[in-house]
Amino acid sequence: MRATNNPAADGFAWDGTPKNRRPPRALRVSPDSPTKLLRSGQTGRCTACGNRVEWYYRDSDRAVPLHPGELPTHLVPDDQRWHVLSGAARPTQDGSPWCRVHHHALCPATPNPGVPGLQEARRNLALNTRRLLDTGRFTPRQTPPATDPAQTPPRRPAVQLLHLLYLAPAPVDQITCVAQTRARHRCTQPLLAPRTTPGTWICIPTPATTGHLTAPSTPTVMAAYDLNQLPYAEQLRWRAQRCPTHAATPSAADTALTGREPFDTFVHHQHIHPQPFDTLHHAAGGHGLPEPPPRHPPPT
Ligand SMILES: [Zn+2]
Ligand SMILES: [Zn+2]
């Protein structure tokens, strides 16, 4: 009886609309969107507690890991409320009864600031961490010993771009395009593509830190890959982290975060070197990590 009355049996979908009558719907990135980052694939896990986070651009230079769920706004202190507007995270008030929070406000691996409204969510994450540990599905990240060269973080050069200083996500010749190809994969083309003008290595004074004392071993000058001399459009291409082809395709979405960070002398002290990366790289034989400069060894 039900089978004869089921419209799906007569070439109709479950809701009564004809099957295979509509052309497939094509989603496109709006040229005016503040971010071209696809939401799919932008989840990750906190390396300290194993809980899920969702990455959003805060602005064009920074990304923030937000807790995946929303919380009642009245439980969250004013200065810890986040909202997602047009795909980007904003630390603003929008009058909504629900808001997002930065994962660090709930991370059970960090000291508990004791915010009453966040205690229940924090407890739930702590329980989940315990479950993940007990079932062997999560191992907290171990801080590698500084003396083990195999565990030393990869070299990331400082890059000057649009008169700002950044820490690049990878050596300059290994930075790849973040755009999505027609086959829906991440583009593998390098930013330093053939027939494009490369930047130049320069030495700049190491920026002063704000609110922190600089380690005595920090070099007073540092090497940076300078892109300020490139045409404005080329600098925009480097900032968007797109190959020449995808820089000319604004409708293409991004599949990954750029990984670039505003340079901070205190946070990024291990990446400060007075010599250009490629010089050190070749001096070390083209493999492994270079020996530290004799007069200004990097801080450990
Ligand atoms: Zn965490
Ligand atoms: Zn590309």
66-75 pLDDT, tens per residue? 999 999 999 9
> 173 C-alpha to center of ligand 2: Å?
14
Q: Per residue in 118-176, pLDDT tens?
A: 999 999 999 999 999 999 989 887 655 555 555 566 789 999 999 999 999 999 999 99
Nearest ligand for residue 183 CA: 2
**Cα–Cα distance for residue pair 229/58, rounded to 1 Å:** 27
**Cβ contact 224:160 at 8 Å:** yes
* Residue keyed to tokens 């079932």: 135
CA of 44 to the centre of ligand 2 (A): 23
pLDDT at 22: 64
Query: What gap in Å lies between CA 81 and CA 100, rounded to an integer?
Result: 6
Looking at the predicted structure, is the pLDDT value of residue 247 above 70? yes
pLDDT of residue 284: 38
**Residue 279 Cα to ligand 2 middle (Å):** 28
Work out the average pLDDT over 6-11.
59
Rounded to the nearest whole angstrom, what is the distance from the C-alpha of residue 71 to the centroid of ligand 2?
38
**What distance in angstroms lies between residue 123's CA and the mean position of ligand 1's atoms?**
12
User: What mean pLDDT, rounded, does the chain reach?
Assistant: 81
Whether the CB-CB separation of 115 and 77 falls below 8 Å is answered with yes
With beta carbons less than 8 A apart as the criterion, state whether 99 and 106 touch.
Answer: no
The model's confidence at residue 283, banded by pLDDT at 50, 70 and 90, is very low
pLDDT over 90 percentage in the chain: 46
Structure confidence at residue 213 (pLDDT): 64
Helices (H), the chain: 2-5, 119-134, 232-240, 244-247, 277-283
From the CA of 49, the nearest ligand is 1
Give distance in angstroms: CA of 95 to centre of ligand 1. 28
The closest ligand to the CA of 126 turns out to be: 1
Rounded mean pLDDT of 227-253? Answer: 94
pLDDT tens-digit series, residues 36-76: 888 777 888 999 999 999 999 887 678 899 999 999 999 99
Give the Å distance between the CA of 116 and the centre of ligand 1.
Answer: 18
Indicate which ligand has the atom closest to the C-alpha of 138: 1
Distance (Å) of CA 147 to CA 8, 70, 150, 151, 300: 66, 42, 9, 8, 8
Q: How far is the centre of ligand 2, averaged over its atoms, from the C-alpha of 230 (Å)?
A: 19
Residue 8 has pLDDT above 90, yes or no: no
Dist. CA 149 → ligand 1 center (Å): 27
Distance from Cα 280 to the centre of ligand 2, integer Å: 29
Residue whose pair of structure tokens reads 């991004």 in the numeric block:
254
